[in-house]
């Protein structure tokens, strides 16, 4: 059964139009997709599509947290997957550098450093990220460009967005991705660390390296680095960090920051003449995204989404926007108080408001609801679509890891599934009564298994310095495999997790499928965990494991600290994956189903194979208005 349910767009977008093209975006966590119910982090790629005419351009945002150019190019679930989605006439926006700068040695190619360590009997680096701006960084940019062009796709290089590293009335050199103040290098077999260059020397600038490749390959370059520098400085340090960035984070933007960066990117593209006729930089009140697709959800389980109401240079300069939601929806402005209506006041000709949407369906089937934003005669309609699924008639399945001993024991399995636990670059250090200092509410003296960074999977290796995001090669993996004759719908993922010895331990909880760990979703995230305080993770994701396939639930920890550190742990116990198994069948998206009545008998809209199709005058069109042969 398909895991991707395509967006349903407003009726105005359902008519035949030009042949649509896709803009594919590849890059790191500053561009990536995020779940609104998991984190306040928002990649700018999430908002780019709202600045294009959706009848002509769609955005396929494939930014990946923690990715450098090499990792994205070689990762089975990334570049090869993006290429399979490309068609002649598409566009590709490439933005990398944050993770190319490295975390173990700055500005060095990590494979060269690993070879140096092997030659000198030093511990192998536990982080595979890192390229050199003069060599491998340029090489991988060239590979992306050349392979995109072979497919008839137009590549575009985008300067990496700045980090909010303020220094007076400017952004620090390393905030602009120039490591000239501190980098490492190998010369004649000798490692030199803490090297520096004069201010005018751009040898260690990843942005300069990208510009060189753009000129060499005759590829458009949009200077998003300088554009975000100007954006941050226009707000000033205090307002920039409080309004545009996640709390305690100078790299990752929140919704407002991500939206403004996407707006800047759209303006740069338009000014460069790239898809300029199909880019709209609105000044009226608009919603971003213009439509919300919840996809599959279970009946009785609330789903939280959000959209942004924005407006610039509005007339009148002050006013009120009235919000209302249809039957299955409630809305909130503070993520706490939900109702069917709300009001937003604005002044100074500018509006920026995050609107939270909660959807809950009592009955199964396709649902199509709307949130309306009304200001005077101006009405913005935000359609919300979902496929609600009932779980009646399934067989209960579960896998439970108590983690009551070292090594981690086999899981207790119920129902017709199999399950296993694996680790990568992690080691289970201990589980004994001497570590009985964890706290859970009023309960104390609790024991957790503790896990540490490890280059060889057996002994501790210090956590690298300067990690700001997950390392895709370091994880604890809990997997279940569906039986060959049954699909499994996941109803619960739960665990108890804590940090030890540090308040700067972070983690992502990601799901993915198969050996390639594809269709990756971040379902939980935590930064700066309180040491020795147990947190309960209890989630109801909407995930289907097709018959015979494997779902992986991965904990990816990292230690967000400026120096290399040892004796810092992530603790874990009571990991549970639960679900319901069903005989595989055509499912609701495999059946034609009329869901939108029309006064025009020549128009019919239905779902087939997970795709919204519109039949008009005997011809079929997608929701974007593209004729289907």
Residues 6+ apart with CB under 8 A from 597: none
Query: pTM here?
Result: 0.80
Q: Round to whole Å and give the CA distance between 550 and 417.
A: 10
CATH code for position 435: 2.60.120.260
- Kindly state whether residues 95 and 220 are assigned to the same domain: yes
125 pLDDT tier (thresholds 50, 70, 90): confident
At residue 491, the pLDDT reads 95
Look-up: residue for tokens 């103040």? 181
Coil, helix or strand for 332?
Answer: strand
Ordered DSSP codes for 401-448: E---SSSPPPPEEESS-EEEEEEESEEEEE-SGGG--EEETTEEEE--
Q: Round to whole Å and give the CA distance between 62 and 79.
A: 9
617 pLDDT tier (thresholds 50, 70, 90): low
pLDDT at 624 over 50: no
Q: Are 421 and 401 in contact (CB under 8 A)?
A: yes
534 pLDDT tier (thresholds 50, 70, 90): very high
Average pLDDT over residues 127-151: 96
Higher-scoring residue by pLDDT: 614, 76: 76
- Kindly state whether residues 164 and 313 are assigned to the same domain: no
- Kindly state whether residues 544 and 600 are assigned to the same domain: no
- Kindly state whether residues 162 and 237 are assigned to the same domain: yes
- Kindly state whether residues 247 and 357 are assigned to the same domain: no
pLDDT, mean over the chain: 89
Q: Are strands 378-389 and 292-298 parallel, antiparallel or unpaired?
A: parallel
Phi-psi region of 43 (alpha: psi -120 to 50; beta: other; left: phi over 0): beta
The dihedral built from the CA positions of residue 356, 361, 364 and 366, taken in this order, carries a sign that is: negative
Residue 497, in any domain of the structure: yes
- Kindly state whether residues 209 and 329 are assigned to the same domain: no
- Kindly state whether residues 345 and 218 are assigned to the same domain: no
Average pLDDT over residues 14-29: 74
Residue 159 structural domain: 16-104+128-176+202-278
- Kindly state whether residues 499 and 411 are assigned to the same domain: yes
Say how many domains are in the chain. Answer: 4
Phi, psi dihedral angles at 78 (to 5 degrees): -115, -90
CATH code for position 222: 3.40.50.1110
pLDDT at 587 over 50: no
What are the pLDDT digits (tens) for 28-48? 999 999 988 889 999 999 999
What are the pLDDT digits (tens) for 340-350? 999 999 999 88
- Kindly state whether residues 297 and 366 are assigned to the same domain: yes
At residue 239, the pLDDT reads 94
Higher-scoring residue by pLDDT: 583, 170: 170
Residue 196, in any domain of the structure: no
At residue 610, the pLDDT reads 47
Q: Round to whole Å and give the CA distance between 614 and 575.
A: 45
Tokens standing for residue 46: 């999430």
Residue 10, in any domain of the structure: no
The angle at the Cα of 314, spanning 311 to 315, to the nearest 5 degrees, equals 155
- Kindly state whether residues 217 and 80 are assigned to the same domain: yes
- Kindly state whether residues 290 and 171 are assigned to the same domain: no
Average pLDDT over residues 191-219: 97
What are the pLDDT digits (tens) for 412-458? 999 999 999 999 999 998 866 667 899 999 999 998 899 999 988 88
Domain boundary among 389, 406, 437: 389
Average pLDDT over residues 149-160: 98
Best CA proximity match to 246, nearest among 528, 16, 511: 528
Residues 6+ apart with CB under 8 A from 230: none
At residue 405, the pLDDT reads 65
Rg for the chain, CA atoms, rounded: 25
- Kindly state whether residues 264 and 340 are assigned to the same domain: no
Coil, helix or strand for 11?
Answer: helix
């Amino acid at each position: 059964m398909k895991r991707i349910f395509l967006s349903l767009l407003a009726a105005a977008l359902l008519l035949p139009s030009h042949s649509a093209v896709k803009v594919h975006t590849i890059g790191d966590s500053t561009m990536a997709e995020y779940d609104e119910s998991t984190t306040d982090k928002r990649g700018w790629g999430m908002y780019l599509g709202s600045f294009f005419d959706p009848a002509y351009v769609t955005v396929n945002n494939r930014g990946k947290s923690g990715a450098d150019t090499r990792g994205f190019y070689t990762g089975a679930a990334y570049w090869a997957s993006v290429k399979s989605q490309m068609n002649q006439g598409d566009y590709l926006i490439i933005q990398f550098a944050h993770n190319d700068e490295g975390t173990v040695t700055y500005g060095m190619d990590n494979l060269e450093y690993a070879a140096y360590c092997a030659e000198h009997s030093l511990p192998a680096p536990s982080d595979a990220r890192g390229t050199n701006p003069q060599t491998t960084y340029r090489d991988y940019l060239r590979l992306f460009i050349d392979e995109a062009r072979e497919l008839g796709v137009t590549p575009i290089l985008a300067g990496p967005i700045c980090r909010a590293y303020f220094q007076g009335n400017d952004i620090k050199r390393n905030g602009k991705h120039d490591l000239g103040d501190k980098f490492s290098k190998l010369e004649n077999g000798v490692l030199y660390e803490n090297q520096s260059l004069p201010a005018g020397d751009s040898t260690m600038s990843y942005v300069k390296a990208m510009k060189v490749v753009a000129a060499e390959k005759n590829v458009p370059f949009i200077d998003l680095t300088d554009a975000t520098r100007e954006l941050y400085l226009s707000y000033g340090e205090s307002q920039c960090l409080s309004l545009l960035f996640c709390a305690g984070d100078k790299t990752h933007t929140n919704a407002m920051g991500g939206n403004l960066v996407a707006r800047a990117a759209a303006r740069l593209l338009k000014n460069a003449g790239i898809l300029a006729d199909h880019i709209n930089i609105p000044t009226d009140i608009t919603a971003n995204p213009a439509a919300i697709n919840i996809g599959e959800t279970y009946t009785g389980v609330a789903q939280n989404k959000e959209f942004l109401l924005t407006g610039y240079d509005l007339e009148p300069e002050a006013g009120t926007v009235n919000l209302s939601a249809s039957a299955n929806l409630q809305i909130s402005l503070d993520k706490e108080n939900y109702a069917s209506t709300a009001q937003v006041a604005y002044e100074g000709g500018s509006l920026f408001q995050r609107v939270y949407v909660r959807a809950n369906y009592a009955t199964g089937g396709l649902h199509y609801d709307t949130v309306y934003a009304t200001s005077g005669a101006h009405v913005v309609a935000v359609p919300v679509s979902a496929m609600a699924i009932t779980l009646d008639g399934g067989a209960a399945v579960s896998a439970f890891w108590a983690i009551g001993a070292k090594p981690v024991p086999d899981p207790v399995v119920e129902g017709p599934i199999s399950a296993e636990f694996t680790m990568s670059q992690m080691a289970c250090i201990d589980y004994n009564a001497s570590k009985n200092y964890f706290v859970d509410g009023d309960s104390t003296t609790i024991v957790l298994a503790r896990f540490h960074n490890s280059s060889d999977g057996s002994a501790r290796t210090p956590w690298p310095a300067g990690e700001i995001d997950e390392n895709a090669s370091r994880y604890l993996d809990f997997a279940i495999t569906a039986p060959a004759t049954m699909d499994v719908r996941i109803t619960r993922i739960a665990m108890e997790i804590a940090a030890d010895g540090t308040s700067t331990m972070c983690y992502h909880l990601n799901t993915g499928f198969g050996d390639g760990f594809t269709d990756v979703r971040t379902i939980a995230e935590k930064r700066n965990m309180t040491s020795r305080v147990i947190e309960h993770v209890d989630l109801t994701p909407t995930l289907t494991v097709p018959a015979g396939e494997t779902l992986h639930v991965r904990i990816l920890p990292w230690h967000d600290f400026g120096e290399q550190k040892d004796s810092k742990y992530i603790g874990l116990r009571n990991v549970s994956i639960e679900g319901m198994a069903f005989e595989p069948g055509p499912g609701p998206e495999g059946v034609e189903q009329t869901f939108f009545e029309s006064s025009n008998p020549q128009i019919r809209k239905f779902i087939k194979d997970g795709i919204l199709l519109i039949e008009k005058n005997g011809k079929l069109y997608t929701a974007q208005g593209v004729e289907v042969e």
